[in-house]
Structures are given as C-alpha cells and as structure tokens.
Amino acid sequence: MAGRAQPVSAWPGTSAAITLAVLILGTLTAVALRAETGAGLGRAEWAAIRFTLIQAALSGLISVTIAIPVARALARRRFRGRRILIALLGVPFILPVIIAVLGLLEVFGRAGWISDALGLLGFEPIRIYGLHGVVLAHVFLNLPLATRLILQAWQEVPAERFRLAAQLGCDGRAMFWLIEWPMLRRILPGAFAVVFAICLTSFAVALTLGGGPRATTIELAIYQAFRFDFDLGRAALLSGVQLILTILAAALALWLATGTGFGKGLDRAVRRWDGANPVSRTADAAWIIAAALFLLLPLAAIVVSGLPNVLSLPSTVWSAALTSLLVAALSTCLLLLLALPMAFAIARGGRGIVELAGLLGLAASPLVIGTGLFIMIRPIADPFALALPVTALVNAITALPFALRVLVPTARDVVERYGKLGVSLNMAGLPFLRFVLLPRMRPQIGFAVGLAMALSMGDLGVITLFADPDIATLPLQIYRLMGAYRLDDAASASLLLLVLSIGVFWVLDRGGRRHAEA
C-alpha cells in the first residue's frame, strides 16, 4: 500500500481524464494534419484574428468598467428586490445566446424600441450589425458575470475595515483609495481576463450580429471555411490559430482570476457608513436602474413579442425543442460520466493528468473539436448522420470545466471530512460512493447537471457545422427563423427556449438541494 488509504479509487477518474485528453488532442491532431496542406494566413484570416482580439478586448473593457459602479452600488445599498436582481445576474450565464441576440435586436435593432423612439424625434435608426453589435451582445452577456466577480470581491472586504475607516472619518473618496482601490486592482485584471477569454471563442454572437469581411471572428471564419467552401485546410489552419489564442487567454484568465462568481452569500449587503449624501445615493440608484433595464428589457421584449404566438408555433419548432431536450439529456449524462470520476480523483489529491485534462476543456474551442470530429468520422461514417450525438459530446466537453469547478471543492471536503471514517468502516469503493459521496454532493451535482442541461439546450455552435436541413436543435431553428425574417415566430420559439432552459436548470438545481442535509 503506497501513500494514504483512500475511500475512492483513482482509476475511473484517470480513465475519464485520459479519454477526454485523447478526444481533445486527437481532434486537434486530426485538424493539424490537415492544416499542413493549406497555404499560410491570408488577408482575410489576419482580419479575422484582428477582429477577434479587438472585439474581445473591447467587450472585456466595457463590461468591467460598467461593472465597477454597478457592483459598488449593489454592495452598499439595500433595497427591495436586491436579492432577486443579484440572482438574475446569474441568468445570462445559462441564457441561450440566440435569445440574447434576438432580445437585443428587438430593443436596439433597426426596427427596435430605441430606433423607433429615435425615429419619432427625427433621428436615424441605430445600426446594430458589425463591431458594435457584437460588443453590445458580449457586454449584455458578460456584464452580469463581471458584476458578480467584482461584487464578490467587494463582499469579501471585512466589514471591520469599513467600520475603522468610518471611525477615522474617511469620506467616500478617502474610503475608495484606502479600501476599495486596492481590492479592485487585485480583482479587475482577472475579471477582464475571464470576459476576454469567453468573448474570444464567441461564435453565435458573431454568426448572428457579425459577418462580412469586417466583422468575422476566427470561430466564424472556421465555420465559413468549413460550411461554405468546405476548405478543411483553411478551417484547420484557423483552428490552430484559435487554439493558441484560447490557450493563452485561458492561461491568462486562470493566472489572474481569483473568484468564480458562483460564490454564495452575494445577497448580503455590506454595512457602510459612507455614501449617505443625496448625490451618491442618486448615482447608485441610477446605476442599478440602468443596469437592470439593460439586462431586463431585451428579455422583456422576447416575452412581449413572443407570447402571443407560442401556442401556434409550427411543428418544426416543437420537434426541434424535443431534439434539444434529448441532446441536452445525452450531453448531461456524458458530462456526469466524465466529471464525477474526475472530481473524485482530484478530491483524493490526485493532481497531474486529471486536473490538466479538466483545464484542457477550458482551452478547447467547440468548433475546433467539431471540425476534428468531422474529419475523424468522415472515413468511417456519415458525419451529418451523427450531428446530434457529436453536439451532445462537444457540449459535455465545454461544460466540463464549469462542472468541475462546482463539484471539486465539495468532493474534496467530503473526502477530507469522512474519508478516514469511511475507510475505517471498510466502506472504500462503492459503499462510500453510494452512501457518502453522492448523497453529500447532491446539491452540487444538481447544480452542475442543471448548468450542463441549460448550456447544452441553448448552444448554437457545433450543430451549425453538422446539421442538414432536416435536423435542428431549438437554437438552430430560431436562427433559421431569423434568417427567414420570421421574427415573430423566432421570438415565440425563443420564449419557449427561455422557459425550457431556465426551467430545466431551476428544476434540477432545486431537486439537488431539496431535503439536502447540512
């Protein structure tokens, strides 16, 4: 017996990690082998790289900049609905991107509410397509995450420090330089890096709001090379570039990031003694209202324009919804098969390959894996026939890093607290799994499963590579309706998708926490 006695064995986690690594690296190799035949990077490719970096940097910068005053206002004010608002900040993470895009179009688009209002005043309607549309959507999707990350750091400042500063007679400005600025300087680079990394791999936003030579991201260029030109060499080359960028960005984010934004206790208001004057009260209120409107109006727009037609939606939409549910369920099963053993192996203290494989999922771009799988499957079977299982698999891989972040800390706790007792009662292996680990981790498993289901339900990525006209997930169906300018149907289908995604997450998360003992 080498090392400490352990209540769970490592080999299932190690095998899961190896499977994952082989899958990710194998698809990469498949892509890389193709890339050699292609020419170097042309002008269009450089333009895509430049656009990708610029939009990601702008999205990160704007999200974080706006998040600072919003988080500050949320941290120091108590008001009715604060708890709900903070809970809502978690929604965009699982919100299907296509819904966000459609909602933003209804508010900010050419025929949207704001353009209509501008038109009444005699102004030109705003143009949402292109760089500013892409950045707008990314800010919409990531401002809440940035706010949560910064809010978490704010809440972690010990209340005693504010008390001491107040006792010393610090005013708002002095308090900022004394307490808040050092905290912000620590958290902001990480928050920026996380948003930057997320936007770097953004596909659905660029697909719907970008396009054209001046607003194409690398992911979108991969899709176009693959789908329109069937130029596997170019797709592979772009995949290589994308991979290098995502690895760099993921490394940067991991290096700089300190929190996850998943933390509990965000609904606690820090007691403060500054900012009682009317000016700062009004400013805080304005920030909170503006942020809430920015986040809620697009969703409200979907509800308003989608509600009338939900029941008369074409049958293709309903069957797409069913397809999406099945894909999401399959994807979640695959995720659990990978994530649970890996979390247990990491909890044992088994570092190395398992944790590394978990991080690999963070750097893997869905479209790159999809392209690789396509290349690998083609000699054996018809890749288009396997569109749905491939989508489920790729969704599982993308959700894995998040699932591990949720599962690992608790698994570690349980093994630490009850491992010895379990081993001394001869429960090592299945009994420990069944009677201790799984029951104790039920809330986290429920949360992870809900997350995986919702992410998969709303994903508009790999499926666009593989799908033929007869098959569609719900997000793809919405995209097609938008493409056909059937915006009312698209809104109704989006409402359906919204209800399904959020509902599925809510039910699973609740189910996990129900009757869970402390």
Chain residues binding another protein by CB under 8 A are 1-5, 417-418, 420-421, 423-428, 430-432, 434-436, 439-440, 516-518
Among the listed residues 465, 321, 475, the one whose alpha carbon sits nearest the alpha carbon of residue 384: 465
Comparison of 404 and 436: residue with beta carbon closer to another protein:
436
Instruction: Count the Cβ atoms, other than its own, within 10 Å of residue 347.
Output: 25
In angstroms, give the least distance from the CB of 348 to another protein.
Answer: 13
CB 257 within 8 A of CB 194: yes
Comparison of 49 and 415: residue with beta carbon closer to another protein:
415
Indicate left, alpha or beta for 349 from its phi (over 0: left) and psi (-120 to 50: alpha): left
In angstroms, give the least distance from the CB of 428 to another protein.
Answer: 6
One-letter amino acid at 220 equals: L
**Secondary structure, 3-state, 240-291:** HHHHHHHHHHHHHHHHHCCCCCCCCCCCCCCCCCCCCCHHHHHHHHHHHHHH
Exposure string of 169-179, with b = 16+ CB inside 10 Å and e = fewer, is ebeeeebeeeb
Comparison of 248 and 438: residue with beta carbon closer to another protein:
438
In angstroms, give the least distance from the CB of 37 to another protein.
Answer: 54
Element (H, E) at 124: none
Half-sphere exposure of 112 (CA within 13 A, CB side): 21
Among the listed residues 141, 267, 128, the one whose alpha carbon sits nearest the alpha carbon of residue 208: 128
Give dist(CA 202, CA 140) in Å, integer: 13
Comparison of 294 and 418: residue with beta carbon closer to another protein:
418
In angstroms, give the least distance from the CB of 6 to another protein.
Answer: 10
- Take residue 172 and report the two structure tokens written for it: 């708002």
Comparison of 73 and 441: residue with beta carbon closer to another protein:
441
Q: What is the SS3 assignment for 454? A: helix
In angstroms, give the least distance from the CB of 424 to another protein.
Answer: 5
Give dist(CA 70, CA 489) in Å, integer: 35
In angstroms, give the least distance from the CB of 427 to another protein.
Answer: 4
In angstroms, give the least distance from the CB of 12 to another protein.
Answer: 18
Among the listed residues 323, 293, 102, 66, the one whose alpha carbon sits nearest the alpha carbon of residue 204: 102
Comparison of 362 and 414: residue with beta carbon closer to another protein:
414
Comparison of 352 and 439: residue with beta carbon closer to another protein:
439
Give dist(CA 464, CA 234) in Å, integer: 18
Comparison of 185 and 515: residue with beta carbon closer to another protein:
515
In angstroms, give the least distance from the CB of 340 to another protein.
Answer: 18
